[in-house]
Amino acid sequence: MNKAVLLLSLFAVATFTGCASKKEEKSEAGKFSVTSPLLMDTTFTKEYVAEIQSLQNIEIRAKVKGYIETINVDEAQHVSAGQTLFTIRPVEYKAELTKAKAEAKTAELEMQNVKKLADKNIVSQTELAMAMAKLDEAKAAEAIAELYVSYTEVKAPFDGTINRLQFKVGSLIDEGTLLTSLSNNKEVYAYFNVSEVEYLDYKSHTLNSEKNSATLLLANNQTHKYIGAIETIEGEFDKNTGSIAFRAKFPNPDLLLKHGETGKVQMTIKIENAMLIPQKATFEIQDKTYVYVVDENNVVKSRNISIKQKLSNLYIVETGLSANDKILLEGVQNVKEDDKIQTEYIASKKVIENLQLIKQ
């Protein structure tokens, strides 16, 4: 029995010694790559969900009541400014105009007769003034009748594309009835919301007279082939969202973009003296990002950092590191807090350049 216990004890000691030796061999044999954060000016692309609106988009409504006599356009048709789109039966309005013209002519003749009599002091100046007022009233009625006749021809106020037609020929419509809408899509606006922090960053790097360029990513993940520009920023923040609306303008000569479409505006953001580190040098615990900092004694210490922006293969660090820190580049999963390791330093510029080559 004592022999068995003794043999087991010797075996345990041998096993423990062997494991310890292997662990020591592993830590001595392997060198861990370390690097430092790189400070440099850089840019990144930020995407914002955008709503696309036509340069001009209006409702075409009837200004008079009547039956639609002709429809001279079709849906999705391009029309020119001044082109007649609809005709509302004008017979009744033309009859009113004829009547108004006749009344205006009669009033003019009466006024001329009264004037002759007033010049001879046969009638008073008051009667002349009344006759002149009656003439003015008749002319105003004639002008209104002419206006109503003109309203029977519904014309395009600008070049654009006709949208859905709401009625057919013969339909009886009232004044104010929506007939269709018209969109000028030769250029479009893209409206998107920006947070307060991003707004302040944008303004701090942009002159008032500057119009920063932007690209537009469409719903099919294809980029609109025409470059746009940030034109305006709204005058106040939305209290509910804490954001402010930007407006970008994009050329659209092919009329590909339509009013009400959606997309993503892509802006190139400049960051001066950004602190860059490789993404692979980080690890996460409970939604927090950490790196292993290696001190002057080659002892590993974890440190929480905050990320300003994620790039391809890289992070821009906002807080938690300095340019003089050395961070573990490779083997993050193979070390733990307070491990002492052997290191091999790789220049940060070389590390970043290699990562950028991988990206390409």
pTM: 0.70
Q: What is the mean pLDDT of residues 52-72?
A: 97
Does the pLDDT at position 226 exceed 90? Answer: yes
Report pLDDT for 278.
94
Amino acid (one-letter) located at 226: Y
Does the pLDDT at position 241 exceed 70? Answer: yes
Does the pLDDT at position 20 exceed 70? Answer: no
Confidence of residue 106 (pLDDT cuts 50, 70, 90): very high
Domains of the chain: which residue ranges? 31-42+273-359, 46-55+182-272, 59-179
Cα 332 from Cα 292, distance rounded (Å) = 7
Report pLDDT for 356.
67
| Distances 138 to 61, 100, 108, 109 between C-alpha atoms, Å | 29, 7, 9, 12
Cα 221 from Cα 254, distance rounded (Å) = 18
CA Rg value for the chain: 40
Residue 82 tokens read as: 């001044």
Residue with tokens 């007033």: 118
DSSP-assigned letters across all residues of 294-319: E-TT-BEEEEEEEEEEE-SSEEEEEE
Cα 154 from Cα 183, distance rounded (Å) = 16
Does the pLDDT at position 82 exceed 80? Answer: yes
Check if the beta carbon of residue 185 is closer than 8 Å to that of residue 257. yes
Residue 289 or 12, more confident: 289
Residue 352 or 67, more confident: 67
Report pLDDT for 70.
97
DSSP state for residue 154 in the 8-state scheme: E
DSSP state for residue 236 in the 8-state scheme: S
Report pLDDT for 10.
38
Confidence of residue 30 (pLDDT cuts 50, 70, 90): low
Q: How many Å from the N-terminal Cα to the C-terminal Cα in the chain?
A: 70
DSSP-assigned letters across all residues of 158-208: SSEEE------TT-EE-TT-EEEEEEEEEEEEEEEEEEHHHHHHHHHTS-T
Does the pLDDT at position 31 exceed 60? Answer: yes
What class, spelled out in words, does domain 46-55+182-272 have in CATH? mainly beta
Do 46-55+182-272 and 59-179 agree at the fold level? Answer: no
Report pLDDT for 270.
81
| Average pLDDT, rounded, for the chain | 88
DSSP-assigned letters across all residues of 14-66: HHHHHHHHHHHHHHHH-EEEEE--EEEEEEEEEEEEEEEEEEEEEEEE-SS-E
The set of residues, in sequence order, having a beta carbon less than 8 Å from that of 147 and lying 6+ positions away, is: none
| Distances 278 to 42, 307, 351 between C-alpha atoms, Å | 14, 12, 8
With a pLDDT cut of 90, the percent of the chain lying above it is: 72
Does the pLDDT at position 314 exceed 50? Answer: yes
Cα 248 from Cα 213, distance rounded (Å) = 9
Q: What is the mean pLDDT of residues 45-68?
A: 96
The set of residues, in sequence order, having a beta carbon less than 8 Å from that of 118 and lying 6+ positions away, is: 124, 125, 127, 128
Confidence of residue 11 (pLDDT cuts 50, 70, 90): very low
Report pLDDT for 211.
63
CATH number for the region 31-42+273-359 comes to: 2.40.420.20
Burial 248-260, CB ≥16 within 10 A → b, else e: bbbebeeeebbbe
pLDDT tens digits, one per residue of 134-175: 999 999 999 999 999 999 999 999 999 999 999 999 999 999
Report pLDDT for 358.
52
Confidence of residue 357 (pLDDT cuts 50, 70, 90): low
CATH number for the region 59-179 comes to: 2.40.50.100
Q: What is the mean pLDDT of residues 103-128?
A: 91
Report pLDDT for 1.
43
Does the pLDDT at position 120 exceed 90? Answer: no
Q: What is the mean pLDDT of residues 176-193?
A: 97
Residue 123 or 278, more confident: 278
Report pLDDT for 197.
87
pLDDT tens digits, one per residue of 203-219: 877 665 556 899 999 99
Does the pLDDT at position 130 exceed 60? Answer: yes
Residue 290 backbone zone (phi > 0: left; psi -120 to 50: alpha; other: beta):
beta
Among residues 183, 191, 158, which one has the least CA distance to residue 258?
A: 183
